[in-house]
């Protein structure tokens, strides 16, 4: 059974960066270094098969005038799914 969950622990973020480095679809834009540099609050959701990270996506949260928060890409970032 696949599970989607928020990556919270720094060790999980390290595993995310390893997956990005090893993926043919991974790019600088997926790395936590880029995301931290974009200075937008972000969350990474991982897709796990048991304990193995298989993929995931990033959501950057911004305050909205009409909603509590909206998720979108950080500045200068073309895409974030992997």
Output the pTM of the full model. 0.82
Mean per-residue pLDDT of the chain? 86
Q: How far apart are CA 24 and CA 3, in angstroms?
A: 23
Q: How far apart are CA 55 and CA 46, in angstroms?
A: 6
| 13-67 confidence digits (pLDDT tens) | 999 999 999 999 888 889 999 988 887 888 999 999 998 999 998 888 777 777 7
Q: How many CB atoms are closer than 10 A to CB 82?
A: 21
**Residue 71, pLDDT above cutoff 80:** no
């Amino acid at each position: 059974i696949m599970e989607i969950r928020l990556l919270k622990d720094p060790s999980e973020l390290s595993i995310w960066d390893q997956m990005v480095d090893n993926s043919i679809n991974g790019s600088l834009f997926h790395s936590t270094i880029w995301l931290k540099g974009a200075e937008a609050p972000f969350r990474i959701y991982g897709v796990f098969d048991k304990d193995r990270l298989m993929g995931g996506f990033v959501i950057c949260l911004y305050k909205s005038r009409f909603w509590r928060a909206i998720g979108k890409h950080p500045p200068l970032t073309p895409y974030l799914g992997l």
